[in-house]
Structure 1
Amino acid sequence: MKLTVVGAGNVGATVAECVARMDIVQNIALVDINEGVAQGKALDLMEAAPIHGFDTVIEGGADYAITKGSDVTVITAGLPRKPGMSRDDLLAKNAEIVSSVTRSVVDQSPDTTIIVVSNPLDVMTYVAYMESGFPSQRVMGMAGILDTARYRAFLKMELGVSVRDINAMLLGGHGDSMTPLPRFTTVGSQPVTDLIDEARLDEIITRTKKGGGEIVGLMGTSAWYAPGAGAAEMVEAIVKDSKRVLPCAAWVTGQYGLEDMFIGVPVKLGRGGVEEIVELDLNDKETADMKASGEHVREVIGAYENLKAQA
Structure 2
Amino acid sequence: MGRAKITIVGAGNVGATCAHWCAAAELGDIVLLDIPAAGDMPKGKALDLMQSSPIMGFDSNIVGATDYAASANSDVVVITAGIPRKPGMSRDDLLATNAKIVGSVAEQVKATSPNAIVIVVSNPLDAMVQRALQVTGFPPARVFGQAGVLDTARYRTFLAMELGVSVEDVSALLMGGHGDTMVPMPSCTSVGGIPIRRLLAEDKLQAIVQRARDGGAEIVSLLKTGSAYYAPAAATAQMVEAIVRDKKRIIPVAAYCDKEYGVGGYYVGVPAILGAKGVEKIVELELDPEERKAFDHSVSAVKSLVATMNELMSKA
Q: TM-score, normalised on structure 1?
A: 0.97
TM-aligned CA deviation for residue 35 of structure 1: 3.0
TM-aligned CA deviation for residue 214 of structure 1: 0.8
The CA distance in 2 between the partners of 1:167 and 1:142, in whole Å, is 18
1:232 aligns with 2:232: no
What letter matches 1:201 in structure 2?
Answer: L
The equivalent residue for 1:56 is 60
Deviation beyond 4 Å, 4+ runs, structure 1 = 82-89
Question: How many residues of Structure 1 are paired with residues of Structure 2 in the alignment?
Answer: 310
Unaligned 5+ runs, structure 2: none
Are the structure 2 counterparts of residues 86 and 56 from structure 1 closer, same or farther at C-alpha, using a change threshold of 3 Å? Answer: farther
Select between 31-40 and 113-122 the one with higher mean Cα deviation. 31-40
The equivalent residue for 2:24 is 21
What letter matches 2:201 in structure 1?
Answer: D
The equivalent residue for 1:304 is 309
The equivalent residue for 1:271 is 276
Q: Is the 8 A contact 1:83 1:217 kept in 2?
A: no
Q: Is the 8 A contact 1:10 1:224 kept in 2?
A: yes
Are the structure 2 counterparts of residues 84 and 256 from structure 1 closer, same or farther at C-alpha, using a change threshold of 3 Å? Answer: farther
The CA distance in 2 between the partners of 1:176 and 1:278, in whole Å, is 23
Are the structure 2 counterparts of residues 18 and 87 from structure 1 closer, same or farther at C-alpha, using a change threshold of 3 Å? Answer: farther
The equivalent residue for 2:258 is 253
1:126 aligns with 2:147: no
**RMSD in angstroms over aligned alpha carbons?**
1.3
The equivalent residue for 2:109 is 105
Secondary structure of 2:270 counterpart:
strand
TM-aligned CA deviation for residue 196 of structure 1: 0.9
The CA distance in 1 between the partners of 2:47 and 2:252, in whole Å, is 33
What letter matches 2:274 in structure 1?
Answer: L
The equivalent residue for 1:45 is 49
TM-aligned CA deviation for residue 186 of structure 1: 0.2
Unaligned 5+ runs, structure 1: none
What letter matches 1:198 in structure 2?
Answer: E
Q: Identity over the aligned pairs, expressed in percent?
A: 53
TM-aligned CA deviation for residue 58 of structure 1: 0.4
1:167-204 CA distance string (max 9 Å, x none)? 00000000101011101100002111111111111111
The CA distance in 2 between the partners of 1:214 and 1:89, in whole Å, is 23
Aligned with 1:244 (options 238, 243, 249) = 249
TM-aligned CA deviation for residue 155 of structure 1: 0.5
The equivalent residue for 2:78 is 74
The CA distance in 1 between the partners of 2:84 and 2:220, in whole Å, is 9
